[in-house]
C-alpha cells in the first residue's frame, strides 16, 4: 500500500513547561503526537480502501483492542494474517507508525484514544455503517493523501524489496538512478532528498545541483522533475544564491502547481533578498495549495510586523484564528490548542503594540483557556 502526501512543514511549537512538584497529564493533542495520530488515520484509510466492506464498527473494535493491549505496556501484535478488517486495520496502522520514531506503548495508546474519540463522533454524526470512513476519505483527499489499492501479495513483494535496499550504502547518484528506474519504490524519493539536504549543509551543494540537473534531463515524470527542481533550489539557497533558488522553485510550480513546499522555499528566498511583499505573496500561494500549512499565517504576520504594518499583521493573526474555528475533524482539533494559543499570543502582542491594552488582556485570558490545566494554574500563580 503506497500513500504519498505532498511535503509541507508543520508549525513549530514549544510545549508548556511543567510546574515544579507536579507532573501534568500528557496532552496527546499537542504537536509532538500529531504525526502519530495522522499516520494512524492514514492506516485506517488505507485499510478501508483495501477492504470496501469495512464498517465503522470494525474500526472502533480494532482501536479499542489496540488501546487495551498498548496500555498494558506491550507493543500491539496483529499477527501474520492480513485478511479480515480487524487485522488489516491494525496492520496498516502499525506499518504507518514504522515510518516514525518509536514511542512507548502508553503514548501510542494515548494517540489511538484521540483517533477513537474522533471516529466515534464522526460515526454518530454522519450515520450509516461507514459514516466515519467516508468522512475520513474526504479528509484524506483534501489533505493530498492518495491511496492506490494493490493486492496483499504485491504489497508483500514491495515490502521485501524495500528491505533489500540499503540507501545508506549508496551514493546520491546511485539513489537518484534508482529513483528514476523505480519511482514507486517506497521512500526512494525521501532517501534522495534527505541525502541531498545533508550534502548541501556540508558545503557540497554544487554536487547536488549538478546531479539534479543531470537527472532532470533523463526523466519526463512531472512529480520527479518537481522534486528535483525543489532539491536543487534548496541547495542554491544553502549556498546563498537566492536568485537561482527562486528560479528553481518557480520551475517546481511550473511542473506541479500545488507543490506547497516550493512556495515556502520561494518565500524564504524572497525574504533573504529583502523582498517581503514577494515573500508574503508566496506564502499566500502556499495556503491556497495546502490549507493545513498554517505556519504560513505566522510567517505572513511576522513579515508584516517587520514591515511595520500593524493592521495587516493583526488581520493575519485573525485570519489564522478564523481558519481554526472553521475547521472540523480530527486533525483540526488536534492542531487546535497549541496553534490557537500561538495565534492568540501573536494577536495579543500586536494589539499591545497598537496601544490596545484592554483588548490584549482579554486575548490573554483566552490563551489561558487553551492551555493544559496545570500550565494555566502555574501561569496564574506567577502574575
Please indicate, yes or no, whether residues 312 and 281 belong to a single structural domain of this protein: no
Q: From the CB of residue 298, how many other CB atoms can be counted at a distance below 10 Å? A: 19
The residue-averaged pLDDT of 349-360 equals: 95
Q: Is 346 exposed, middle or buried (0-12, 13-18, 19+ CB in 10 A)?
A: buried
DSSP label of 147? E
Nearest partner of 367 among 328, 339, 333, 335, judged by Cα: 339
Please indicate, yes or no, whether residues 208 and 278 belong to a single structural domain of this protein: yes
Grade residue 305 by pLDDT with cuts at 50, 70 and 90: very high
Q: Is 293 exposed, middle or buried (0-12, 13-18, 19+ CB in 10 A)?
A: buried
Please indicate, yes or no, whether residues 254 and 333 belong to a single structural domain of this protein: no
Q: Which residue has the higher pLDDT, 122 or 143?
A: 122
In a domain, 154, yes or no: no
244, 269, 288 — which closes off a domain?
Answer: 288
Which range (19-23, 59-63, 164-168, 220-224) has the least confidence?
A: 19-23
In a domain, 143, yes or no: yes
In a domain, 368, yes or no: yes
CATH assignment of the domain containing 277? 1.25.40.10
SS3 for 169-196 is HCCHHHHHHHHHHCCCCCCHHHHHHHHH
Nearest partner of 93 among 44, 56, 60, judged by Cα: 44
Which range (180-189, 211-220, 335-344) has the least confidence?
A: 335-344
Please indicate, yes or no, whether residues 333 and 226 belong to a single structural domain of this protein: no
Question: Given this model, what pLDDT does residue 363 score?
Answer: 92
Please indicate, yes or no, whether residues 208 and 256 belong to a single structural domain of this protein: yes
pLDDT digits (tens, 9 = 90+) for 53-89: 888 888 999 999 999 888 887 665 544 344 444 588 9
In a domain, 84, yes or no: yes
Quote the number of domains for the chain: 3
Nearest partner of 364 among 350, 379, 344, judged by Cα: 344
149, 179, 213 — which closes off a domain?
Answer: 149
Contacts by 198-204, CB closer than 8 A, 24 or more apart: 199/172, 200/234, 200/235, 200/238, 200/239, 201/238
CATH assignment of the domain containing 323? 1.25.40
In a domain, 155, yes or no: no
Please indicate, yes or no, whether residues 278 and 347 belong to a single structural domain of this protein: no
Please indicate, yes or no, whether residues 267 and 314 belong to a single structural domain of this protein: no
Q: Which residue has the higher pLDDT, 76 or 281?
A: 281
Question: Given this model, what pLDDT does residue 27 score?
Answer: 78
Q: Which residue has the higher pLDDT, 126 or 109?
A: 109
Please indicate, yes or no, whether residues 39 and 96 belong to a single structural domain of this protein: yes
288, 320, 335 — which closes off a domain?
Answer: 288
H helix count then E strand count, the chain: 18, 2
- Residue 146 pairs in a beta bridge with 4
Nearest partner of 40 among 28, 53, 24, judged by Cα: 28
In a domain, 121, yes or no: yes
Residue given cell 480487524 in the structure block: 86
**Grid cell digits, residue 118:** 474522533
Grade residue 109 by pLDDT with cuts at 50, 70 and 90: very high
Q: Is the Cα dihedral 212, 96, 37, 198 positive or negative?
A: negative
pLDDT digits (tens, 9 = 90+) for 319-340: 988 887 765 444 444 444 445 6
Q: Measure the CA–CA gap between 90 and 330, rounded to whole angstroms.
A: 19
Start-end of H helices in 127-241? 131-143, 152-164, 172-181, 188-201, 205-216, 222-239
Please indicate, yes or no, whether residues 283 and 310 belong to a single structural domain of this protein: no
Please indicate, yes or no, whether residues 117 and 194 belong to a single structural domain of this protein: no
Question: Given this model, what pLDDT does residue 148 score?
Answer: 62
Q: Which residue has the higher pLDDT, 152 or 331?
A: 152
In terms of residue numbers, what domain contains 279?
A: 165-288
In a domain, 110, yes or no: yes
Please indicate, yes or no, whether residues 204 and 184 belong to a single structural domain of this protein: yes
Say whether pLDDT at 258 is over 60: yes
User: Helix, strand or coil for residue 320?
Assistant: helix
Please indicate, yes or no, whether residues 109 and 78 belong to a single structural domain of this protein: yes
In a domain, 19, yes or no: no
Amino acid at each position: 500500500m503506497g500513500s504519498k502526501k505532498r511535503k509541507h512543514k508543520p508549525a513549530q511549537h514549544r510545549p508548556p513547561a511543567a510546574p515544579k512538584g507536579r507532573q501534568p497529564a500528557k496532552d496527546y493533542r499537542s504537536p509532538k503526537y500529531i504525526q502519530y495520530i495522522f499516520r494512524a488515520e492514514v492506516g485506517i484509510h488505507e485499510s478501508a480502501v483495501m477492504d470496501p466492506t469495512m464498517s465503522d464498527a470494525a474500526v472502533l473494535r480494532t482501536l479499542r483492542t489496540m488501546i487495551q493491549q498498548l496500555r498494558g505496556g506491550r507493543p500491539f501484535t496483529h499477527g501474520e494474517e492480513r485478511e479480515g478488517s480487524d487485522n488489516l486495520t491494525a496492520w496498516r496502522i502499525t506499518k504507518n507508525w514504522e515510518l516514525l520514531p518509536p514511542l512507548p506503548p502508553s503514548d501510542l495508546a494515548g494517540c489511538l484514544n484521540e483517533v477513537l474519540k474522533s471516529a466515534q463522533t464522526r460515526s454518530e454524526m454522519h450515520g450509516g455503517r461507514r459514516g466515519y470512513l467516508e468522512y475520513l476519505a474526504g479528509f484524506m483527499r483534501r489533505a493530498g493523501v492518495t491511496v492506490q489499492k494493490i493486492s496483499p501479495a504485491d504489497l508483500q513483494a514491495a515490502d521485501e524489496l524495500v528491505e533489500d535496499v540499503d540507501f545508506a550504502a549508496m551514493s546520491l547518484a546511485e539513489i537518484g538512478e534508482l529513483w528514476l528506474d523505480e519511482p514507486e519504490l517506497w521512500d526512494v524519493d525521501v532517501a534522495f532528498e534527505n541525502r541531498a539536504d545533508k550534502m548541501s549543509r556540508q558545503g557540497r551543494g554544487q554536487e547536488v545541483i549538478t546531479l539534479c540537473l543531470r537527472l532532470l534531463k533523463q526523466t519526463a515524470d512531472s512529480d520527479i522533475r518537481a522534486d528535483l527542481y525543489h532539491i536543487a533550489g534548496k541547495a542554491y539557497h544553502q549556498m546563498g544564491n537566492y536568485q537561482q533558488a527562486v528560479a528553481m522553485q518557480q520551475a517546481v510550480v511550473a511542473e506541479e502547481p500545488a507543490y506547497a513546499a516550493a512556495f515556502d522555499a520561494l518565500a524564504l528566498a524572497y525574504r533573504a533578498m529583502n523582498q517581503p511583499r514577494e515573500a508574503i505573496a508566496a506564502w499566500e500561494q502556499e495556503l491556497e495549495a495546502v490549507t493545513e500549512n498554517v505556519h504560513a499565517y505566522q510567517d505572513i504576520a511576522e513579515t508584516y510586523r517587520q514591515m511595520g504594518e500593524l493592521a495587516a499583521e493583526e488581520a493575519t493573526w485573525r485570519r489564522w484564528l478564523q481558519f481554526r474555528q472553521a475547521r472540523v475533524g480530527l486533525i483540526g482539533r488536534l492542531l487546535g490548542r497549541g496553534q490557537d494559543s500561538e495565534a492568540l499570543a501573536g494577536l495579543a502582542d500586536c494589539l499591545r503594540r497598537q496601544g490596545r491594552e484592554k483588548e490584549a488582556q482579554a486575548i490573554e485570558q483566552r490563551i489561558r483557556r487553551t492551555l493544559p490545566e496545570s500550565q494555566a494554574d502555574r501561569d496564574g500563580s506567577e502574575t
